[in-house]
């Protein structure tokens, strides 16, 4: 999938692909729950059937959404097993089970109203939790003060760095945080390291290289200025 991200970068699209696609299963699951709960008011069974079809469509869209979540994780976070990512993976599996159960019990006409309600409601709870943890990864909390002076750098950091370097730390190697790093001593050193990140022994590390087609020189400068300004406050989102 690397080629797809390269093509998108060339046309100016630098964002993850997973978040937009999640709107389909999320909307369908919430819609299914509302339709199912409204069905007893009309007693026609049509809204319950509509809810069932929504859940089937949600399951169909679930797979491409989950797949792009995996590719985004590899592309933007180098497959880092951060806490939000671990929780999202667990919740993703739970959502697949919950949706499937809701579809099966409707097909087999078992479980009654309570059983179906629980499966639909649980699916809604899971997508809300996924949205919470997903939002924390893609759109970290905005800090006030120095970060307001470098909004573009803040966006670049949120998109490319926060998965592994939340709060200026390093979830892969806590002994090598951004704050206080020798790689931050000047812009030239910062850019060279990010273009070709190597460990102290010269070997290749887990951090992906950020070439110009992904982060331009101007964007790299904005990123550096943002980190330097916020690092002085010892807090990065």
Residue pLDDT, tens place only, 115-137 = 999 999 999 999 999 988 887 66
Distance CA 178, CA 82 (A): 16
Residue with tokens 């994780």: 73
- Which pLDDT band, with edges at 50, 70 and 90, does 233 fall under? low
Exposed/middle/buried for 125, CB within 10 Å: 0-12, 13-18, 19+? middle
Cα Rg of the chain, angstroms: 22
pTM of the predicted model over 0.85: no
Give the mean pLDDT of 40-69: 93
Residue pLDDT, tens place only, 69-102 = 998 887 776 677 777 788 999 999 999 999 999 9
CB-based contact 153:225 (threshold 8 Å): yes
CB-based contact 76:16 (threshold 8 Å): yes
Question: What pLDDT shows up at residue 135?
Answer: 72
Mean pLDDT of the chain: 84
CB-based contact 134:22 (threshold 8 Å): yes
Q: CA dihedral in degrees (126, 128, 132, 138; nearest 10)?
A: 90
Distance CA 62, CA 76 (A): 21
The third-level CATH classification (topology) of the domain covering 145-231 is Cytochrome Bc1 Complex; Chain D, domain 2 (1.10.760)
Question: What pLDDT shows up at residue 213?
Answer: 84
The DSSP code for 175 is: T
Task: Show the beta-strand stretches assigned E in the chain.
Answer: none
Nearest-10 crossing angle of helices 83-107, 46-77: 160
CB atoms within 10 A of CB 60: 12
Locate the domains of the chain by residue range.
2-138, 145-231
85 against 52, higher pLDDT: 52
CB-based contact 172:80 (threshold 8 Å): yes
């Amino acid at each position: 999938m690397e080629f797809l991200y390269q093509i998108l970068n060339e046309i100016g699209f630098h964002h993850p692909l997973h978040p937009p696609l999640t709107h389909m299963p999320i909307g369908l699951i919430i819609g299914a729950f509302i339709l199912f709960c409204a069905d007893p008011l009309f007693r026609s069974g049509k809204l319950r059937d509509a809810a069932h079809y929504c859940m089937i469509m949600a399951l169909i869209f679930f797979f491409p959404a989950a797949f792009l979540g995996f590719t985004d994780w590899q592309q933007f976070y180098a497959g880092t097993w951060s806490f939000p990512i671990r929780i999202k993976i667990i919740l993703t599996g739970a959502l697949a089970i919950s949706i499937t159960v809701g579809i099966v019990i409707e097909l087999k006409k078992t479980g009654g109203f309570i059983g179906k309600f629980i499966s639909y409601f649980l699916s809604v709870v899971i997508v809300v939790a996924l949205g919470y943890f997903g939002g924390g990864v893609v759109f970290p909390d905005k800090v006030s003060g120095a970060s307001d002076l470098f909004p573009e750098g803040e966006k670049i950091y949120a998109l490319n760095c926060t998965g592994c370097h939340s709060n200026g730390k390093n979830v892969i190697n806590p002994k090598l945080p951004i704050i206080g790093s020798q790689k931050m001593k000047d812009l030239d050193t910062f850019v060279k390291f990010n273009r070709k990140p190597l460990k102290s022994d010269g070997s290749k590390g887990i951090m992906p290289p950020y070439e110009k087609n992904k982060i331009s020189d101007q964007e790299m400068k904005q990123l550096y200025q943002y980190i330097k300004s916020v690092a002085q406050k010892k807090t990065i989102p």
